[in-house]
Amino acid sequence: MHAAAVAILPPLVAGIILTGVLAFLSGGLHLDGLADTADAFFSGGSVQKKLRIMKDSRIGAMGAIAVSLCLFMKAALIGSLDGSIAFGALLLMPAASRCCLLLPAFAFRYGRDTGTGRPFITALSLRTVVVASGATLIVTGGVLGLHGLASLTLTAVTALGVGRILSRNLGGMTGDTLGAVNELGEIVFLTALLILR
């Protein structure tokens, strides 16, 4: 689909279309988490206030800015992909980001007494993290080589760093913060891959 889009459209337009397709396929779940996390993180005040903001179904200014920047970045990055790596990059981008969000989910405690993310975070085992990470490493190395492995490593380091910052600021990880980590992970993975290539 990327090759067809780039062949008939300007790269940025093709990137916008493909970014929209990916967002619709995921139901916008992680983008919603990014918006809620940005609104809470930049709100100031107590942890309890921030957690309440994350539960609010309305999107604030910081959430709207974060989602807009995220979508623009992904569109520009996808539009810039070289044809030789586009298929592998688009295939592995969601896999890499979802694998890497397991790291902060395992490393940091859950920030609420209840919530949709609690069963996932509290039930996550070291074995699951190791198996998922190993499988992602093997597939990424096989498809994208050393550049892919380096990009995956940078994504993992970013996921842990962002997770630590969010956990300190919000009292722990939540389903929303994992969504934010996922969105940032996709951007980091593609950015690193393009720079290293």
**Helical H runs in 44-125?**
47-55, 61-79, 83-100, 102-107, 118-123
SS3 content of the chain, % helix, strand, coil (to 5): 80, 0, 20
Quote the pLDDT of residue 7.
58
DSSP-based three-state secondary structure for 173: strand
Q: How much is the pTM?
A: 0.90
Q: What is the pLDDT along the chain (197 residues), one digit of tens a residue?
A: 655 555 567 888 888 999 999 898 888 889 999 999 999 999 988 899 998 999 888 899 999 999 999 999 999 999 999 878 888 999 999 999 999 999 999 999 887 777 677 777 888 899 999 999 999 999 999 999 999 999 999 999 999 999 999 999 998 899 899 999 999 999 999 999 999 97
